[in-house]
């Protein structure tokens, strides 16, 4: 038990007030580094993910590529995206990219989530879904710039890669890292992995002739805790639709955290104003109607 360590929480979805226990412990930011240039598409990581997370088996699909299925599923969090890329000189090139949650430093899913505690971000950078708090609204799907969260219509909960938070919490590397036979997957602190990735990119540029080789760690989401080394960092879209500039919709960055509470406050201020309208102007009361007509007769007649 002495070895057991609790992951420190950094952010909680839809949580009013501060995050309990924040800054109580120092915690390094972890990172998964994926060297897309040495991935051979063996899918050991896919199997390891399904194994470790005890995910029920799903049907695979075949569409004349090396891809297991068209996209990740609620029970398949890790998928090698296979792309046949045509280079400028007309030759072909296979691009393999391990697709999973990027564990953004600024997670769009967490911003979009309306359920308290359904999504948490740990100090170490892992973004984790807490299914017991998930209400199945699927708004995280629209907040994620990487199209990662997947809805299970039976349980009405959303699932995705947890970066094996259960393993990382115990000082182990994620299951996918452990299974990788080529060493294209690395796991460590964000700083270490960034250095390693930059060194490898430099090697690709200087030695292997990939002059556009670089590291994918997009600033638009304040960086990610899964980073890639790409042969051509100027064209990440070629790797199965990796967005060049992933953006969280303004609805979740401007409207939801700022303008929406202001608007709600305005409405409640209006209710308060209405009360004081009642106090200062009073109700529009009924004025007695005319009792007599010009002949002195009573005007009260049966209705209709």
Binding site for other proteins (CB under 8 A): 14-16, 112, 114-116, 133-139, 141-144, 147, 156, 249, 251-252, 255, 260-261, 263-264, 267, 270-271, 274, 277-278, 281-290, 292-294, 297-304
Contact predicate 26/124, CB 8 Å? no
Give min distance, CB of 25 to other proteins, in A. 25
Could you give the residue ranges of the DSSP H alpha helices within 73-179? 108-112, 139-143, 165-168, 175-179
| 3 state DSSP class of 9 | strand
- CB nearer to other proteins: give 136 or 188: 136
- CB nearer to other proteins: give 31 or 113: 113
- CB nearer to other proteins: give 2 or 280: 280
Q: Is the dihedral of CA 98, 102, 108, 112 positive or negative?
A: positive
Give min distance, CB of 284 to other proteins, in A. 5
Q: How far apart are CA 256 and CA 273, in angstroms?
A: 25
What does the block give as tokens for 143? 């907040």
Torsions phi, psi of 49, nearest 5? -65, -50
Burial 76-96 (b: 16+ CB within 10 A, else e): bbbbbbbbeeeeeeeeeeebb
Give min distance, CB of 58 to other proteins, in A. 17
Give min distance, CB of 74 to other proteins, in A. 13
Give min distance, CB of 267 to other proteins, in A. 5
- CB nearer to other proteins: give 88 or 303: 303
- CB nearer to other proteins: give 171 or 289: 289
- CB nearer to other proteins: give 49 or 118: 118
Give min distance, CB of 135 to other proteins, in A. 4
In terms of Cα–Cα distance, which of 218, 222, 202 is closest to 210? 202
């Amino acid at each position: 038990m002495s070895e057991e360590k609790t992951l420190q929480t950094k952010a909680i979805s839809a949580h009013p007030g501060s995050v309990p226990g924040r800054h109580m412990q120092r915690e390094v930011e972890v990172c998964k580094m994926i060297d897309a240039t040495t991935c051979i598409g063996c899918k050991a990581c896919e199997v390891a993910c399904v194994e470790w997370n005890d995910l029920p088996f799903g049907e695979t699909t075949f569409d004349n590529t090396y891809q297991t299925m068209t996209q990740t599923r609620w029970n398949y969090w890790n998928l090698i995206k296979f792309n046949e890329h045509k280079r400028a000189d007309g030759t072909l090139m296979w691009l393999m990219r391990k697709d999973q949650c990027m564990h953004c430093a600024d997670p769009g899913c967490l911003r979009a989530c309306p359920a308290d505690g359904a999504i948490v971000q740990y100090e170490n950078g892992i973004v984790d879904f807490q299914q017991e708090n998930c209400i199945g609204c699927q708004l995280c799907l629209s907040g994620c710039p990487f199209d990662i969260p997947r809805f299970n219509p039976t349980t009405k909960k959303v699932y995705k890669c947890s970066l094996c938070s259960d393993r990382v919490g115990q000082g182990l590397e994620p299951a996918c890292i452990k299974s990788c036979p080529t060493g294209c997957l690395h796991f460590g602190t964000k700083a270490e992995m960034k250095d390693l990735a930059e060194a490898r990119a430099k090697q690709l540029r200087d030695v292997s002739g990939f002059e556009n080789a670089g590291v994918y760690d997009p600033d638009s989401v304040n960086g990610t805790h899964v980073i890639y080394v790409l042969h051509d960092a100027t064209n990440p879209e070629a790797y199965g639709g990796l967005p060049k500039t992933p953006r969280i919709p303004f609805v979740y960055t401007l409207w939801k955290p700022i303008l929406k509470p202001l608007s709600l406050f305005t409405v409640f201020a209006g209710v308060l104003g209405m009360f004081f309208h009642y106090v200062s102007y009073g109700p529009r009361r009924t004025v007695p109607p005319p009792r007599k007509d010009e002949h002195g007769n009573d005007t009260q007649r049966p209705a209709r």
